[in-house]
Amino acid sequence: MKKTKAPASPDSAPKTSAGTGICWLVGAGPGDLGLVTLRAKECVEQADVVIYDYLCNPAMLAWARGDAELIYAGKKSGQHTLPQGGINELLVEKTRAGKKVARLKGGDPFVFGRGAEEAQALHAAGLAWEVVPGVSSAIAGPAYAGIPVTHRDHTVQLTVFTGHEDPTKGAGVADYAALAKTPGTRVMLMGVERLPAVTEQFLTHGADPATPVALVRWATTGRQQTLTGRLDDIARRAEEFGFEAPAVAVFGSVVNLREELNWFERRPLFGKRVVVTRTRAQAGGLSSRLAALGAEVLELPTIRIEPPADMRAFAELVMDAHSYDWLIFTSPNGVQVFFDTFFKLYPDARSLGGPRIAAVGPATAQKVNEYRFAADLTPREFVTEGLIKAFEEETSLDNLKLLVVRPEKTRDVLAAALDKRGAIVDQAIGYRTVPETLENDRTGALARFRDEGADVITFASSSAVENFLALKLPRPAGMKIASMGPVTSRTLRDAGLRVDIEAPEATLDAFAAAIAADLSGAK
Ligand code: SAH
């Protein structure tokens, strides 16, 4: 990727003597993780300190380095954690200390986010800073409710204002007399709680009482809610529905287009919360598939992959991989640690020599492909018998030299069964799965699960089940259980749990589709 850093222009802020400190004012988008920019992700990945907000999708925090300091500087309406002055000081202090600071702000930092004030504080302190614009809720919020803020047939004008201040106060207040007469779409950020006063101002100044209005709450996330009405009844409706912040309000005839264009709320898993319990590193694939179907995904990693107790022993077996007839991989993680270790030892792929490759399960085979090798044998079932059967159809096991790559502490029935059939089996213990701890709830997913529950929880492996149970979390009433395959299902049943959904085959696509079919049917 091309580096985007431009040379400093003559009037840019002077660098500090420390030189390395920089503060990025980063737009975190309106909520949907997919609407975060590539540059924002880079900043979070590189940051020493991440300072984030109430409106940022906390899943972004999972991109931060393990040793990054995470500071919540969020504000809920009326409930300030840190006053703005304190936030400015914090940014200056951390940047001056030579840190790379990612300051995440919901939407776009310069659209009613007080980002400009933070930039000024950094500039005044002579520190380096940059802004990373984001997708503003002013535009994305309506879009996700099926409301385009402009349309040739409706309007040639778009006005964005804030309803933050009490309209009767005078200073710092939007000009309602002008707004009432402004043609086109008007979008209001903040101030849903002031809706009665705001709509009153519009009406007093002569706006059409029949003007269509939509309120979009938690827009672009799985908990998005939309309420529509007219200028003269929306405040009452919001009150009746108990409609709360954060919400975007849209005034104008484009609101009517929602009837045709409401794409987001019509997706099969819209309004459903699904828990994904894979390791943080693996969760993304399933999460993005579920999110694409409209689900609100809570990533609750229960396990994490760590190096094995004896890395040296593993590396020695990897070094000798060329001397085996077959390499047998039982999981994508095994493939990954094997090849990562292999390419540290050998710069040339041909050093692998001639062993054939068996991969248990399609996801494992796919991982092998990612390293530009092909699996010669891929038993469909993720069970020992499946592999043995596949082998026996292919070749005699007698005297074959096999290297099985597997995690610590799993059942070694596979090696034992192969051994019984005359094969010479070595086992390369490539990794350990260790439980995630509750203290490590960086993204707040665990707390949300505990407080708000979920519609379905997914398990992709037996160890995920075991580790989830070890967390001893309460199970919300009515939450369904989805399993990636028969072995995982068996583990669930052995633990006395009912399996509601099982993937017809062990692929993420099939798993996500099975969940969507079940939940959208149950809607
Ligand atoms: N810089 C932000 C706006 C900050 S002001 C942006 O560009 O989007 C905070 C207000 O933004 C909230 O009160 C609400 O009106 C709006 N907002 C931000 N994210 C939102 C979301 N996901 N759904 C609805 N409103 C949102």
Spatial distance between the Cα atoms of 8 and 128, rounded to a whole number of angstroms: 10
Q: Which two tokens stand for residue 231?
A: 């200028």
Looking at the fold, whether 75 and 223 belong to one and the same domain comes out as: no
Concerning whether 340 is annotated as a catalytic residue, the answer is no
Q: Which two tokens stand for residue 479?
A: 């939450």
**pLDDT tens, residue by residue, 405-455:** 999 876 677 888 888 889 999 999 999 977 776 666 777 788 888 888 999
Q: Where are the beta strands (DSSP E) in 392-502?
A: 401-407, 424-435, 456-459, 480-483, 501-502
Domain boundary (114, 135, 156) is at 135
Ligand 1 contacts CB of residue 111 (under 6 A): yes
The mean pLDDT of 270-279, rounded to a whole number, is 86
Q: Are residues 315 and 428 in the same domain?
A: yes
Cβ(216) – ligand 1 distance below 6 Å: yes
Helix (H) or strand (E) holding 369: helix 362-370
* pLDDT at 13 (0 to 100): 46
Residue 10 lies in a domain: no
Q: In terms of domains, do 424 and 476 share one?
A: no
- Active-site entry in 32, 48, 53, 455: 53
Asked if residue 167 has a cis previous peptide bond (ω within 30° of 0), the answer is no
Residues in the chain: 523
Closest ligand 1 atom to residue 218 Cα is 23
The arithmetic mean of pLDDT across residues 128-151, rounded, is: 98
pLDDT at 386: 79
Q: What pLDDT, on the 0 to 100 scale, is given for residue 19? A: 67
Q: Cβ neighbours of residue 50 under 8 Å, at least 6 residues apart?
A: 44, 61, 64, 68, 69, 70, 71, 101, 102, 104
Residues 393 and 507 in one domain: no
Provide the CATH number for the domain around residue 37: 3.40.1010.10
Position 11 scores a pLDDT of 55
What residue type is 398 in one-letter code? Answer: D
155 and 106 in a common domain: no
- Is the confidence at residue 240, as pLDDT, over 70? yes
For ligand 1, is residue 160 a contact (CB within 6 Å)? no
The response to whether residue 136 sits with its C-beta less than 6 Å from ligand 1 reads yes
- Sheet of strand 158-162, all strands in order from the earlier edge strand to the far edge: 158-162, 185-189, 247-251, 212-217, 225-230
* Token digits of residue 520: 């959208």
Q: With 80 as the cut, is the pLDDT of residue 80 above it?
A: no
- Strand positions, DSSP E, 200-276: 212-217, 225-230, 247-251, 273-276
Q: What is the pLDDT of residue 410?
A: 65
| 113 Cβ inside 6 Å of ligand 1 | yes
401 assigned to active site: no
Instruction: Give the closest residue (by CA) to ligand 1 atom 13.
Output: 190
CATH number at residue 333: 3.40.50.10090
The pLDDT assigned to 74 comes to 75
Q: What pLDDT, on the 0 to 100 scale, is given for residue 438?
A: 64
Tell which of 434, 469, 498 closes a domain.
434
- The 3-state secondary structure of 251-264 reads ECHHHHHHHHHCCH
Q: What CATH number is associated with residue 260?
A: 3.30.950.10
Is 412 found in the same domain as 442?
A: no
Using the mean position of ligand 1's atoms as its centre, give its distance from the Cα of residue 281 in Å: 29
- Beta carbons of 403 and 330 less than 8 angstroms apart: no
pLDDT at 78 over 70: no
Catalytic (active site) residue 190? yes
Residue 71: inside a domain? yes
Mean pLDDT estimate for the chain: 89
On whether both 352 and 208 belong to a single domain, the answer is no
pLDDT number for residue 20 = 87
Q: How far apart are the CA of 140 and the centre of ligand 1, in A? A: 10
Question: Of 37-51, 280-294, 419-433, 476-490, which gets the smallest average pLDDT?
Answer: 280-294
pLDDT at residue 454, rounded to an integer: 94
Rounded CA separation 384/386 (Å)? 5
Find the 112 Cα to ligand 1 centroid distance in Å.
8
Rounded distance, CA 209 to CA 204, Å?
10
Q: Could you tell me if residue 4 is inside a domain?
A: no
Q: What is the largest CA-CA distance in the chain?
A: 91
Containing domain of residue 102, as a range?
A: 22-135
Any domain includes 311: yes
Higher local confidence (pLDDT), 386 or 336: 336
Q: Of 103, 119, 135, which one is at a domain's C-terminal end?
A: 135
Residue 317 domain flag? yes
* pLDDT for position 4: 47
What residue's CA is closest to ligand 1, atom 9?
190
Q: Are 146 and 252 in a shared domain?
A: yes
pLDDT for 474 beyond 60: yes
Given the structure tokens 């409106």, which residue do they identify?
55
Work out the pLDDT band at 2, boundaries 50, 70, 90.
very low
> Is pLDDT above 90 for 383?
no
What's the pLDDT score for residue 435? Answer: 74
Q: Is residue 191 part of a domain?
A: yes
User: The tokens of 297 are what?
Assistant: 């995904």
pLDDT bucket at 281, cuts 50 / 70 / 90: low
CA of 215 to the centre of ligand 1 (A): 12
Nearest to 220 by CA among 109, 143, 166: 143
In this prediction, what percent of the chain has a pLDDT beyond 90?
Answer: 63
pLDDT computed for residue 251 by the predictor? 98
Instruction: Band the pLDDT of 466: cuts 50, 70, 90.
Output: confident
DSSP H or E segment with residue 387: helix 384-394
Poorest-pLDDT segment among 264-278, 282-296, 342-356: 282-296
pLDDT of residue 75: 59
| Pair (104, 166) in one structural domain | no
How remote is the CA of residue 187 from the centroid of ligand 1, in Å?
11
Work out whether the CA dihedral 471, 295, 35, 82 comes out positive or negative.
negative
Which of 137, 158, 218 to probe ligand 1 with, by most ligand atoms within 8 A of CB? 137
- Bigger pLDDT: 80 or 254? 254
In a domain, 5, yes or no: no
| Whether residue 248 has its Cβ less than 6 Å from ligand 1 | yes
Ligand 1 proximity of 461 Cβ (cutoff 6 Å): no
Per-residue pLDDT at 397 exceeds 90: no
What is the pLDDT confidence band of residue 311, given thresholds at 50, 70 and 90? Answer: very high
Shared domain check, 297 and 315: no
Question: Would you state the pLDDT for residue 9?
Answer: 52
Partnered with residue 246 across adjacent β-strands are none
On whether residue 115 sits in a domain, the answer given is yes
Task: Report the 3 state secondary structure along 479-501.
Answer: CEEEECCHHHHHHHHHCCCCCCE
Query: What is the reported pLDDT for 165?
Result: 78
Residues 151 and 108 in one domain: no
Picking from 44-48, 177-181, 398-402, 471-475, which range would have the lowest pLDDT averaged per residue? 471-475
Q: Is the pLDDT of residue 507 over 80?
A: yes
In this structure, are 240 and 198 located in the same domain? yes
> Does ligand 1 lie within 6 Å of residue 285's CB atom?
no
Total of domains in the chain: 4
In whole angstroms, what separates CA 13 from the centre of its chain?
A: 34
- What's the pLDDT at 134? 98
Pocket of ligand 1 contains residue 188 by CB under 6 Å: no
